[in-house]
Amino acid sequence: MLEESYPRRWRGYWKEGCIALGLFAAILLVALIVVSSARNPGPVEIHSDSTCDTYHESIDFNVPEDPPVFADLTKQELQNTRAYLKSQSDLNLVDINKVIVSSSYIYSIELLPPTKSLVLQHLDNAGRKPQRWAKVIVFRGDLPTPLIQEYRVGPMPKPSTHDLIDYKGSRKNPIPFAYRPLSGTDIALINIHIFPEIFDKAEDIIVESFGAKLRDCGSKCVTYSAGPVSTSLSGEVVRKFWIRFSHAVNFMTLHPLDFQILVNLDGVHRENFRIEKVWYNQKVFNSLGDLVDAYRSGKVEKLHFTFPKVDKNLFSTLNLRGDPFPKKQQRRPFQVEPDGKRYSISGQRIKYMGWSFNYRMSTNSGPMLFDVRYKHQRIAYEISLQEIAVFYSGYGPASRFSDIVDSASMIGTLSKILIPEADCPGHATFLPATHLFDGSDAPITYDNALCLFELETGNPLRRHHSFSGYEGHFYEGLMDDVLVLRTVLTVGNYDYIFDYIFHQNGVVEVKVMATGYILASAYSPNERQFGFQIHKNLLGNIHHHMFNFKVDMDIFGTSNRFETLDISVDETPNGDWSSLPDVTVYNQLKFKRTLHHTEIQAAYKFNFSTPKYLLFHNEKRKTKQGVSRAYRIAINGMSKQLLPEGKGHEPSIPWSRYQMAVTKFRQTEVQSSSVYAIWDSYDPVNNFQNFLDDDENIVDEDLVAWVTLGVHHIPHTEDLPVTPTPGGHLQFFLLPYNYFDEDPSMASRNAIRIQPAEDDGKPGKLPLVINRYGMNSTRKCVPKPTSFYERLLNDPDMIFN
Ligand SMILES: *[C@@H]1O[C@H](CO)[C@@H](O)[C@H](O)[C@H]1NC(C)=O
Ligand SMILES: *[C@@H]1O[C@H](CO)[C@@H](O)[C@H](O)[C@H]1NC(C)=O
Ligand SMILES: [Cu+2]
């Protein structure tokens, strides 16, 4: 066992050690977050002038005493859960400031979404409101065989029981200790057990090679990040990281050094914690001692990286530079809401035009929607992010084995603050999220974790102009104004923007954009097939971004079918229409409906030769013409998983094999991934492929679609300093398909119609009627400027800890 205990105040240590920040994985800034207590949410900001405020809807962030079924756990519920668990002797929890790897401690507490059947009883049949429960992940370093346990704790508000969650064999619980998601204890282990050896043996080499030091380094420091190495590589369930070193300069991923160390941090025993390999100047060594010998004897060529000159012109910093534009100091355009907000919020339920839905921010899996309805009719029971993955390639081992599956990084906690007028429009409403997680004793609330805004997209939703007399003169058009619920998850280097977008015609859009810093390698000719040299010592490695979403479709209830419209070429005899011998057969397109009976049959891999529409319907609900009233899922932003199935780290993300899969809803198959997926490729904890492999019947069942978006990214110089979003929007849509009798946006008062007035028979100009359907376009009002920046100046903890 570990003899010494070390406090969780890593931050102090790092200051002494001169290593600015340890970064993990997708370069996860976990754990260094030392937050003493939750801040009070600031005042709600609603930017509009009272004179504009005619029909303001109500915006209420207060969580009711008895929270609605989908609401995140409240501060009080989180606190009560923690207090209850603390008092349970079987859990053996230690105080947060005494946590070491061999302790029992709580990794996360969050809502365990209630059983769907109970929720539907409650919502649709006036059934009793289901009890609220917490899902709690506990690291049990204290047990003879350390492991991870997932508990169901409750009922709220005052928990009285805790049981291991029974996944009925569909996924593991408890979970091998080596699979635990990334936490502060990893930093502590590297810090206490690995760094002394590096200081001891390699400090001279680091100073000579990189013009910077690991400790006592002043303004020239070397920092590091640690990337998990998933278990398929060694074929054993062990916990290993590649530590990559870089110059401690904004931003570190663009200043990599050709120096990496593979460490084993398995279990809780100090004798396990060791350096297994060392990489220096494109060569592998079995130990630091071997590197030192080779370095001294001239068997490895010495590297000479110069420490970058840090100023605002440094290529890797984000500062205004270049020839400033616009030439004059003219502000950006902005939008106004001339008659007040047209949406309301209450109990984490949002209403907008015909739409209503609940949102929540899962600590471990990010933004989720529940009970999405249009005109009171549920379309989807759930639409939620499941996983973010990025698989990198490279010659050097750290890039080669960086296959990052981000929910190991508590992605829901990574939207720390959205900034008005940069992350979201100035008129947005900012929504809080509260978490209790690794490193915190009390719940932490991030006031601006999400934002909600109505957006004038500038695109017409529909229009037609009939300008000639014989068609009948008229014009009508309507802008595609939407409601956007946004969050931005900063997973170390990358920033992922997630939007749930609601259109006026019954369409839901889900969109992902990536920005932020790339993860890169020190340039070497060996890396050329994996990227371009984009700066002096820098090469941007090719990688594949992948995102998985759960879309629990409920079209007129839970008895649904999945059908595709398969488009093909029709060869029609053409003798009647042409006498030319080579036109006796005419080719055109046709389609046929294919009902998919089982899960394997339904698993969708895009094929250009066989275009398809993907439709969900309830067989009992037809239009007057007898056509199935359906919703269509359309995916814009697909990519193919090129890695072979079942090899390497691919088994951790089996959902990426399909652009969409359809499964029968099961309460034990509520997520496609798990927080363990970054490690578990050798033996996945929650294997999505198993959802399909039992090949259940999916006809007239409750169906769930699992949608994967993706894009390959070969970085280029314009990814410096950070990746821009244009060209990288990945989306999928839920589109009504024979669902309404006509476009429901016909009921929008925001359309504009122009037609001739009754012809008075007089010569001269045609008299016109311009119909704005009662909208007053003469009232003028100006939104109040945001007070956000004042609040920020008064409370800098809002943005940096
Ligand atoms: C795509 O569809 C065509 C036509 O059915 C088929 O011949 C081909 O094998 C398919 N490709 C893949 C990769 O499945
Ligand atoms: C439109 O607003 C202006 C200014 O508030 C007001 O004077 C006018 O009567 C309004 N028109 C209608 C049709 O409501
Ligand atoms: Cu990228």
Which ligand does the CA of 606 lie closest to? Answer: 1
User: Pick from 555, 569, 563, 667: which is nearest to 618 by CA?
Assistant: 555
Distance CA 448, CA 426 (A): 13
Q: Is 468 in the pocket of ligand 2 (CB under 6 A)?
A: no
| 160 DSSP assignment | -
Average pLDDT rounded to a whole number, residues 502-516: 98
Quick one: pLDDT at residue 45?
42
User: Can you tell me the distance from the alpha carbon of 415 to that of 407, in angstroms, rounded to the nearest whole number?
Assistant: 13
Residue 762 has pLDDT above 80, yes or no: no
Rounded distance from Cα 607 to ligand 1 centre (Å): 6
Check pLDDT > 90 for residue 469.
Answer: no
| Mean pLDDT (whole number) for 405-423 | 96
Q: What angle do CA 412, 416, 419 make, to 5 degrees?
A: 130
The CA distance from 463 to 601, in Å, is 40
Q: 777 CB under 6 A from ligand 2?
A: no
Predicted pLDDT at 775: 83
Cα–Cα distance between 634 and 629 in angstroms, integer? 16
CA distance 509 to 228: 33
- For 94, the token pair is 């230690």
Strand order across the 283-285 sheet: 22-24, 222-229, 240-247, 256-264, 274-280, 283-285
Q: Looking at beta carbons, which pairs linking 528-532 to residues 24 or more positions away fall under 8 Å? A: 530/393, 530/394, 530/395, 530/399, 531/394, 531/714, 531/715, 532/714, 532/715, 532/716, 532/717
The predicted pLDDT at position 781 comes to 67
CA 96/CA 88 separation, integer angstroms: 16
Best of 55, 772, 776 for a ligand 2 pocket test (most atoms within 8 Å of beta carbon): 776
pLDDT in tens, 248-291: 999 999 999 999 999 999 999 998 999 999 999 999 999 999 99
* Residue 729, number of CB atoms within 10 A of its CB: 16
The fold adopted by the segment(s) 59-165 is Nuclear Transport Factor 2; Chain: A, (3.10.450)
Domains 59-165 and 184-297 share a fold: yes
**Mean pLDDT, residues 698-704 taken together:** 98
What is d(CA 237, CA 253) in angstroms, rounded to the nearest whole number?
28
- Res 787: pLDDT: 86
Q: 3-class DSSP state for residue 776?
A: coil
Does pLDDT of 39 surpass 50? no
Pairing of strands 22-24, 222-229: parallel
Could you name the CATH architecture of 184-297?
Roll (3.10)
Query: Counting Cβ atoms within 10 Å, is residue 325 exposed (0-12), middle (13-18) or buried (19+)?
Result: exposed
One-letter amino acid at 127 equals: G
- Integer-rounded Cα Rg, in Å, for the chain is 29
Q: Is the CB of 86 under 6 A from ligand 2?
A: no
CB-CB neighbours of 527 under 10 Å: 24
CA distance 182 to 660: 29
> How much distance in Å is there from the Cα of 544 to the middle of ligand 3?
7
Q: How far is the CA of 744 from the centre of ligand 2 (A)?
A: 28
pLDDT reported for residue 24: 42
43 pLDDT above the threshold of 80: no
Sign of CA dihedral 647, 649, 651, 653: negative
Residues 27-46: b if buried by 16+ CB within 10 A, e if exposed: bbbbbbbeeeebeebbeebe
N-to-C CA span, the chain: 33
Taking CA atoms only, the protein residue closest to ligand 1 atom 6 is 609
Index of the ligand 2 atom closest to the CA of residue 777: 1
CA distance linking residue 284 with residue 262, whole number of Å = 10
Would the CB of 568 count as within 6 Å of ligand 1?
no
373 pLDDT more than 70: yes
- At residue 34, the pLDDT reads 28
Residue 669 has pLDDT above 80, yes or no: yes
What does the pLDDT read at residue 252? 95
Angle, CA of 557, 558 and 561, to the nearest 5°? 105
- 608 within ligand 1 shell (Cβ under 6 A): no
Of 84, 130, 78, 141, the C-alpha closest to 108 is 78
The CA–CA distances, whole Å, from 709 to 278, 557, 723 equal 36, 27, 18
> Could you give the CA distance from residue 409 to residue 353 in angstroms, rounded to a whole number?
36
Q: How far apart are CA 67 and CA 60, in angstroms?
A: 13
Mean pLDDT of the chain: 91
Amino acid at 729: H
- 107, HSE (Cβ side, Cα atoms, 13 Å): 31
**Is ligand 1 within 6 A of the CB of residue 569?**
no
Q: What is the pLDDT of residues 724-734, one digit of tens each?
A: 999 999 999 99
Atom of ligand 1 nearest to the CA of 609: 2
Nearest-atom index, ligand 2, CA of 776: 1
Instruction: Pick the residue whose CA is nearest to atom 12 on ligand 1.
Output: 607
Decide which of 581 and 342 is more confident: 342
Specify the residue with its C-alpha closest to ligand 2, atom 2: 779
Asked whether 779 lines ligand 2 (CB < 6 A), one says: yes
| Residue 778 CB–ligand 2 contact under 6 Å | yes
Judge whether residue 484 has pLDDT over 60: yes
pLDDT of residue 22: 37
Rounded Cα–Cα distance for residues 413 and 444 (Å): 9
Q: Which residues pair with 366 in a beta bridge?
A: 362
Q: Which tokens go with 389?
A: 């993955």
Stretch 467-471: mean pLDDT, rounded? 82
Nearest CA owner, ligand 2 atom 7: 779
Which of 607, 658, 659 to probe ligand 1 with, by most ligand atoms within 8 A of CB?
607
pLDDT-above-70 percentage for the chain: 92
Q: Kindly write down the DSSP assignment for every residue of 330-354, as one continuous string.
A: PPPP----TT--SEEEETTEEEETT
Return the residue matching tokens 């440094």.
314
DSSP per-residue letters across 166-189: --TTSS-SSEEGGGPPP-HHHHHH
Contacts of 392 (CB under 8 A, 6+ apart): 399, 400, 402, 403, 404, 519, 541, 542, 543
**How much distance in Å is there from the Cα of 775 to the middle of ligand 2?**
9
Instruction: Answer yes or no: 494 catalytic.
Output: yes
Number of H helices, E strands in the chain: 10, 36
CA gap 241, 493 in Å, rounded: 17
Confidence band, pLDDT 50/70/90 cuts, at residue 54: low
User: Using a 6 Å cutoff on CB, does residue 776 contact ligand 2?
Assistant: yes
Number of other CB atoms surrounding residue 758 within 10 Å: 7
pLDDT level of residue 575 (50, 70, 90 thresholds): confident
The conformation of residue 193, written as its DSSP 8-state character, comes to I
Ligand that lies nearest to the alpha carbon of residue 338, given by its number in the listed order: 2
712 lines ligand 2 (CB under 6 A): no
* Closest ligand 1 atom to 610 CA: 2
Residue 427 contacts residue 337 (beta carbons within 8 Å)? yes
Question: From atom 10 of ligand 2, which residue's Cα is the shortest distance away?
Answer: 776
CA 602, 605, 608, 614 torsion: positive or negative?
Answer: positive
CA dihedral sign of residues 194, 11, 800, 39 = positive
The residue whose CB lies within 8 Å of the most ligand 1 atoms, and thus the one to mutate among 567, 604, 610, is: 610
Please tell me if the CB atom of residue 607 comes closer than 6 angstroms to any atom of ligand 1: yes
423 close to 446: Cβ distance less than 8 angstroms? no
- Using the mean position of ligand 1's atoms as its centre, give its distance from the Cα of residue 509 in Å: 29
Domain ranges (residues) in the chain = 59-165, 184-297, 346-517+543-713+723-747
Helix axes 195-210, 288-296, angle to 10 degrees: 30
Length of the chain equals: 801
SS3 522: strand
d(CA 617, CA 382): 16
Compute the distance between CA of residue 796 and CA of residue 321 in angstroms, rounded to an integer: 26
Q: How far does the centroid of ligand 2 lie from the alpha carbon of residue 338, in Å? A: 13
What are the structure tokens assigned to 70, written together?
Answer: 């989908």
CATH of 346-517+543-713+723-747, one of 2.70.98.20, 1.10.3720.10, 2.60.40.1120, 3.40.50.300: 2.70.98.20
610 lines ligand 1 (CB under 6 A): yes
> Which of 7-21, 319-333, 748-762 has the least mean pLDDT?
7-21
Q: Which DSSP string do the residues of 465-518 spell out, in sequence order?
A: EE-SGGG--EEEEEEEEEEEEEEEEEETTEEEEEEEEE-TTS-EEEEEEEEEPP
Q: What is the Å distance from ligand 3's center to 32 Cα?
A: 25
Considering only CA atoms, which residue is closest to atom 11 of ligand 2? 776
Q: In terms of DSSP bridges, do strands 343-346 and 703-713 run parallel, antiparallel, or are they unpaired?
A: unpaired
| Centroid of chain to Cα 702 | 25
Q: What is the pLDDT of residues 88-147, one digit of tens each?
A: 999 999 988 889 999 999 999 999 999 999 999 999 999 999 999 999 999 999 999 999
Statement: residue 37 has pLDDT above 60: no
Q: From the candidates 406, 423, 480, 719, which is the catalytic residue?
A: 406
